[in-house]
């Protein structure tokens, strides 16, 4: 059945950034006298909304400044930018090409747990902003993944039935969110990414170039 819409995750699906954000958080905390490892922060970051990540950081490290999630994102962004001298280096090319093919079949949008401004900037970096109906960031919907809120809002904004939509995700939380929304899910299990439980996907691939849209739909 032809999808009514494709909804893409961002970090880990279209751009390889989760490790960089984990290191940025570790660096920012180090400047505030808190010693944590990149690996510990990666387990905190994977598949989660920035709002949820920020809340966890505030709970676990009470010595850091108490600021809203939007302000904390502004503080963190320079740490991330120091790690990415070439923004194009994080683009997952095969995933971007897959989105371009998907956009010829049905409307596309990004539903991410990152701040809206970062999602929009990433779409521009990937060269796909003009192909998207909209992007949703962490502050644009209620509960973060694995709750289905973001995907259900996306379906509502497109005025389509959730059961006719396809989600493209790389994380356990994201797959669970798509399934909870009643959508079909493509799971991306990149070989160089942290292992995730992607059970429950209709399709599971190591690279999105493996999925032939003309055959599947």
Instruction: Tell me what pLDDT residue 132 has.
Output: 98
3-state class (DSSP) for residue 88: helix
DSSP 205: E
Both structure tokens of 175:
């797959």
Helical ranges in the chain per DSSP H? 18-30, 38-45, 50-60, 69-82, 93-102, 116-126, 149-158, 172-180, 213-216
Sequence-ordered list of residues with C-beta below 8 angstroms from that of 39, at least 6 positions apart, any chain: 22
How far is residue 146's CA from residue 209's CA, in Å, rounded to a whole number?
A: 26
- Assess contact for 182 and 163: CB atoms under 8 A: yes
3-state class (DSSP) for residue 123: helix
Instruction: Tell me what pLDDT residue 194 has.
Output: 80
Instruction: Tell me what pLDDT residue 161 has.
Output: 97
Instruction: Tell me what pLDDT residue 216 has.
Output: 76
CA separation (Å) from 69 to 65, 76, 114?
Answer: 11, 10, 11
Q: Render each residue's pLDDT in the chain as its tens digit; 217 residues.
A: 789 999 999 999 999 998 999 999 999 999 999 999 999 999 888 889 999 999 999 999 999 999 999 999 999 999 999 998 888 999 999 999 999 999 999 999 999 999 999 999 999 999 999 999 999 999 999 999 999 999 999 999 999 999 999 999 999 999 999 999 999 999 999 988 788 889 989 999 999 999 988 877 8
Residue from 110, 133, 97 nearest 8 by CA: 110
The CA angle 150-124-11, to the nearest 5 degrees, is 45
- Assess contact for 195 and 217: CB atoms under 8 A: no
| Residue 184 bridge partners (DSSP) | 166
Handedness of CA 172, 174, 177, 181 (dihedral sign): negative
From the DSSP assignment, how many helices (H) and strands (E) are in the chain? 9, 6
- Assess contact for 136 and 153: CB atoms under 8 A: yes
User: Length of the chain in residues, anyone?
Assistant: 217
3-state class (DSSP) for residue 197: coil
The model carries a pTM of 0.93
CA separation (Å) from 106 to 9, 149, 157?
Answer: 16, 21, 14
């Amino acid at each position: 059945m032809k999808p009514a819409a494709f909804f893409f995750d961002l970090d880990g699906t279209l751009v390889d950034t989760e490790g960089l954000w984990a290191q940025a958080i570790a660096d920012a905390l180090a400047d505030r006298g808190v010693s944590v490892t990149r690996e510990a922060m990666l387990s905190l970051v994977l598949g989660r909304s920035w709002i949820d990540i920020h809340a966890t950081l505030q709970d676990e490290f009470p010595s850091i400044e108490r600021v809203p999630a939007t302000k904390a994102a502004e503080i963190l962004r320079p740490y991330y930018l120091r790690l990415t001298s070439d923004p194009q280096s994080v683009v997952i090319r095969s995933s971007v090409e897959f989105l371009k093919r998907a956009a010829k079949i049905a409307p596309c949008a990004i539903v991410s747990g990152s701040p809206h401004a970062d999602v929009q900037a990433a779409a521009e970096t990937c060269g796909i902003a003009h192909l998207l109906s909209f992007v949703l960031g962490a502050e644009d919907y209620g509960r973060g993944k694995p709750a289905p809120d973001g995907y259900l809002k996306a379906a509502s904004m497109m005025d389509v039935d959730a059961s006719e939509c396809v989600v493209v995700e790389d994380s356990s939380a994201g797959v669970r969110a798509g399934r909870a929304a009643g959508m079909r899910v493509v799971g991306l299990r990149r070989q160089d990414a942290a292992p995730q439980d992607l059970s429950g996907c209709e399709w599971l691939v190591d690279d999105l170039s493996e999925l032939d849209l003309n055959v599947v739909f």
